[in-house]
Amino acid sequence: MFRFSSLILFLLIGSAASAQIEDPQYAFRDLTRGLDGTWFMPTDRGDRLEIWTIQDDSTLVGRSVRIKPENGDTVLLERLRIELRDTNITYITASRVQGEPRETSFTLTEVDEQGFYVFSNPKNNDPQNIRYLLLGNREVQVITEGIRNGRTVTQEYVYEREFTPGAVEFRLKVGGNAQTIRTTGNFPTDPPEFALPAYDWRPGWEFGTQVRFKGRGGFLTVNAEAQRDLNYRTAWFIAGIYPELSFGRDARFSIMAGPYYGRLMFGGGKGTMLPDDDDYDNRLVNDFKKSDFGLQGGFQYRMNFGKKDIGGILGIRANLGLSNLDNLYIRYCSPGNEAFCNGAVAFQGISLYYSVDLLKL
């Protein structure tokens, strides 16, 4: 009876563990794409590295090495491999024990809500479990659990990603915005009702691409997009470079700020208040200056909608134009009163957008 109950319990545990891996192919793809690259961890005995390379669509190969601090020589600790075969994902370590080659296999049994990938081999004493946790794109946490001399032993390693030229994200972004005109300086006061440009916040849309160059602790984002403002009926091509700083061990939250350049592609600006056609001194014309320059800054949060991991990022960003775009008003100032006609206008706005990693689609 005891043996039968133990067998049932073992089958239930195994079934529950397997049931948590709903789609092995997606789990393997996300793990291998996340691990691909070089990871290092400083220690008293020199830097320890895990180096992973995607061999094909079902195999990730790697090696664990240590760099000797005294001479820089590389010591191979283990050869590593992660394989997808049918619906099974296996983590394989190959090392030498007392001069003899030894290969140990661990089966992926769980992908939990925190993002841990748990590989298990109860027949192997140390380790019995290997847990990998990808902390954003800059860190990976490895925890081993085993039995040594009759005691449970847990070891934790935290590796940082080394920057490589290939560590690049190509992203597609779409969003909505709201824009208005910011006025500075002086505008003609005659007639009084046309003293200032009469503009208000109006909605628009934008789409574009992002190229994110991954570095240690953050990103450098090159942003290019088309932006349409519905109130002023203008469309701009916007390009910017934004240093981006990530926070937290999982690097989900980040802030970014930097300059942008905008080029007017077409426009037909129509303000909310038009002077009379014969009021030449304050007549509204239908174009802006063609070039815009300013600053943008915002927040981003890495999140994913739906089951498939597409590297989703939700962001909010504000822009502040610094260029005077004033071709809106043609004004006449009497000689000696030019200082009273030095008004300037510039765009300011806010955007809400969502971007995805094209390589994960």
User: Distance between CA 90 and CA 24 in Å, rounded?
Assistant: 11
Give the CATH number for residue 237. Answer: 2.40.160
Q: How far apart are the first and last CA of the chain?
A: 51
> In sequence order, what DSSP letters do the residues of 65-129 get, joined into one string?
EEE-TTT--EEEEEEEEEEEETTEEEEEEEEEETTEEEEEEEEEEEE-TT-EEEEE-TT-SS-SE
| Cβ contact 238:260 at 8 Å | yes
Percentage of the chain beyond pLDDT 70 is 74
Question: Regarding predicted confidence, which is higher, 3 or 304?
Answer: 304
H or E element that contains 13: helix 2-19
pLDDT reading at 179 higher than 90:
no
Q: Is the pLDDT of residue 241 over 90?
A: no
283: left (phi over 0), alpha (psi -120 to 50) or beta: beta
Mean pLDDT of 237-254: 79
Q: Identify whether residues 226 and 112 lie together within a single domain.
A: no
% of the chain surpassing 90 pLDDT: 33
- The CA-atom distances, in angstroms, between 58 and each of 55, 120, 125, 144, 314 are 8, 19, 28, 24, 31
Residue 139 belongs to what domain range? 2-161
Torsion of CA 90, 94, 97, 101, to 10 degrees: 110
Mean pLDDT over residues 148-174, rounded? Answer: 82
What is the pLDDT at residue 114?
A: 76
pLDDT at 6 over 50: no
Pick from 131, 134, 225: nearest CA to 177: 225
Which of helix, strand or coil describes residue 289?
A: coil
Residue 153 shares a structural domain with residue 297: no
Could you give the 3-state DSSP secondary structure of residue 342? Answer: coil
Each residue of 41-89: pLDDT tens digit?
988 888 899 999 999 889 999 999 999 888 778 899 999 999 999 889 9
Number of domains in the chain: 2
The pLDDT, as a whole number, for residue 15 is: 39
Q: Are residues 45 and 138 in the same domain?
A: yes
236 shares a domain with 177 = yes
- pTM for this entry: 0.57
pLDDT of residue 60: 95
- pLDDT score for 248: 62
Please give the torsion angle defined by the CA atoms of residues 351, 354, 358 and 361, in that order, rounded to the nearest 10 degrees: -160
pLDDT beyond 70 at 228: no
Last residue of a domain, one of 111, 142, 161: 161
**pLDDT at position 104 over 50:** yes
Domain boundary among 133, 161, 189: 161
Same domain, 125 and 173: no
pLDDT tens for each residue of 121-132? 999 988 999 999
Using alpha carbons, list the distances in angstroms from residue 92 to 60, 108, 145, 219.
Answer: 10, 11, 16, 32
Position 7 pLDDT exceeds 50: no
pLDDT-derived band at 249 (thresholds 50, 70, 90) equals low
- Read off the pLDDT band of 112 (50, 70, 90): confident
φ/ψ of 47, rounded to 5, equals: -65, 140
Choosing from 132, 161, 190, the residue where a domain stops is 161
| Residue 141: per-residue pLDDT | 93
CA angle 284, 326, 178 (to 5 degrees): 85
CATH number at residue 74: 2.40.128
